[in-house]
Structure 1
Amino acid sequence: MSTVAFIGLGVMGYPMAGHLARAGLDVRVYNRTPAKAKAWSEEYGGSHHATPREAASGADLVLVCVGNDDDVRQVIRGEDGALHGMAPGSLLVDHTTASADLAEELDAACREQGIGFIDAPVSGGQQGAENGALTIMCGADEADFTRVESLLGHFGRAVTLMGPVGSGQLTKMVNQICIAGLVQGLAEGLHFAEQAGLDRQRVVDVIAKGAAGSWQMENRHATMIADEYEHGFAVDWMRKDLGICLEQARRLQARLPVTALVDQFYADLQVLGGGRWDTSSLLRRLRSMKLD
């Protein structure tokens, strides 16, 4: 695969597409805001295009990383969507965190045209995308996965086939469920330490070496202590993801009481005007609450 189209140049897609260009691939990009696509081309040397269809025309592989289910449908199946420009034998990979239902819908649409499909949501945030160190969870036929595994390694440190189409999205739901509880626990621990008059940095230095340690603790504690929340995945995006998790859980009759509660805590932050704060801002919610 030498010619690649990348659809969606947000905080994740922009550096992901950049890694492909640096690897020597011919990268064709599309973004809803044309100025960003133009800026990407000027930085990395690839070509930018007016529609997803145009970007996908002639590409061996099309990768998508946009906002939600409706955004994915628009750029893939819309009037000027990527599928209208793709040829039989090519492959479509969706990196958007979306529903498993959408993955199955896109797989069926692709197969009607002789195109392979992989749902491949990512974890690791903007930092992981910039460093080429994302975790990529794939749902696909093994043959399709084999075709693209090494290429995804240009921006993923762990690229794993989880099962058939839809399995990648289901695995990402597990990821978000676990993160929600971890961040709330970290927020409560730091809040407790602050109220108790402890040196919060020293507390973290000690407990991070034991069973309480986590990626969230290592990478988010310092900015949380500083009350800075412009360093990662936004509250609005997390609420979208948790909504997908909770809807799927209802279908599976899986009980997610902590996830549902943390989702409401994020709703509180949106009311406070924190929709674009990163997910660790759960600590700010605790600081804003007045106890009776």
Structure 2
Amino acid sequence: MPSTNPRHYDAAPARKTAFLGLGVMGYPMAAHLALAGHQVTVYNRTSAKSTAWCEEYACTNGPKHAASPREAAAGAELVFCCVGNDDDLRSVTLGADGAFAGMAPGAIFVDHTTASAQVARQLHAAALALGLHFVDAPVSGGQAGAQNGLLTVMCGGDAAAFDAARPVAMAFARACTLLGASGSGQLAKMVNQICIAGLVQALSEAIAFGQNAGLDMQQVLSVIGKGAAQSWQLDNRGQTMLEGKFDFGFAVDWMRKDLGLVFDEARRNGSRLPVTALVDQFYADVQKMGGRRWDTSSLVKRLG
């Protein structure tokens, strides 16, 4: 659920929306839409989650849940989505029960799934053929960012569709940027994941090194966090890594899925990613340790 801290919502006119996928990210993202005054119809593969969401936000604009993506999307000006992977995304967009079948001409589908650039381009083309719009819009900021309405949204697609969707998406974002044509948002998210993989491994090695050297690592992290070594990972995961807490945030299984997308794209565009490939294997080690659902900062456990 969203943070209980007061959240300022930009003054965007109330819109009729749908949200498909109520996982750890989608559930609070949809809630921020409702709390910002938008009409929201939700769909989730497990219907009990949709029912629970509607009960929790019953005081906001009469939220509804639908039995299919098509039903949820019917009459919506904007359809937001956050599901697991390419196949999940196809299942909620295409076919007789898919969202595209229920959307009116001119409606906009905004996909927050971390998926391939290829599927984004395919669905963009499929949407255009139906008179619809499709924006690929993966997010960064993790579960905490979703709960606090402070996600960073990386978008690809047509400028007009982006411009129409952005004011509504700002209900759960602190930044929402168009980076290019269809697929560009997904490619930017891959850049993001490459950076994170290297940063978390470096932070893990630094913590293990400092502990082995007998340093007070709480003090050390506080000091170096004020200098050139400062990063989001250090600020938000350094202390929890020291405490051995990995039951929150972005799971190792999800990171390996995302890195698989990175490697597929790298083979297509000729990129060499030696460090990222090594860290991916380290994440495989964490999975073997039983850490499939641990936070990605659990890389440090390999070094303990």
TM beyond 0.5 = yes
- Judge which range, 185-194 or 72-81, deviates more: 72-81
Spell out, residue by residue over 1:196-232, the C-alpha distance to the aligned partner (whole angstroms, 9 max, x if none).
1111101101111111110000000111001110121
Per the alignment, residue 103 of structure 1 pairs with 120
Pair 1:172 & 2:189 matched: yes
Spell out, residue by residue over 1:238-280, the C-alpha distance to the aligned partner (whole angstroms, 9 max, x if none).
0000010111011111111110000000011111111000000
Per the alignment, residue 272 of structure 1 pairs with 289
Per the alignment, residue 11 of structure 1 pairs with 24
CA distance in 2, matches of 1:74, 1:137: 23
Runs of 4+ in 1 over 6 A off after TM superposition: none
CA distance in 1, matches of 2:267, 2:228: 31
Per the alignment, residue 24 of structure 1 pairs with 37
CA distance in 1, matches of 2:131, 2:83: 24
Spell out, residue by residue over 1:93-112, the C-alpha distance to the aligned partner (whole angstroms, 9 max, x if none).
10000000000000011011
Pair 1:159 & 2:159 matched: no
Per the alignment, residue 119 of structure 1 pairs with 136
Q: Provide the secondary structure at the position in 1 that maps to 2:259.
A: helix
Seq. identity, % = 63
Q: What amino acid does structure 2 have at the position aligned with 1:108?
A: A
- Residue from 72, 87, 91 that aligns with 1:55: 72
Per the alignment, residue 300 of structure 2 pairs with 283
TM-score where L is the length of structure 1: 0.97
Pair 1:87 & 2:104 matched: yes
Per the alignment, residue 147 of structure 1 pairs with 164
What stretches of structure 1 of length at least 5 have no aligned partner?
288-292
Per the alignment, residue 239 of structure 2 pairs with 222
Per the alignment, residue 10 of structure 2 pairs with none
- Judge which range, 72-81 or 117-126, deviates more: 72-81
Per the alignment, residue 134 of structure 1 pairs with 151
Q: What amino acid does structure 1 have at the position aligned with 2:281?
A: Q
What stretches of structure 2 of length at least 5 have no aligned partner?
1-13
Q: Provide the secondary structure at the position in 2 that maps to 1:96.
A: coil
CA distance in 2, matches of 1:149, 1:184: 34
Q: What amino acid does structure 1 have at the position aligned with 2:41?
A: R
CA distance in 1, matches of 2:274, 2:193: 14
- Residue from 226, 232, 241 that aligns with 2:249: 232
Spell out, residue by residue over 1:11-49, the C-alpha distance to the aligned partner (whole angstroms, 9 max, x if none).
100000000001111100001111111010011121011
CA distance in 1, matches of 2:291, 2:85: 20
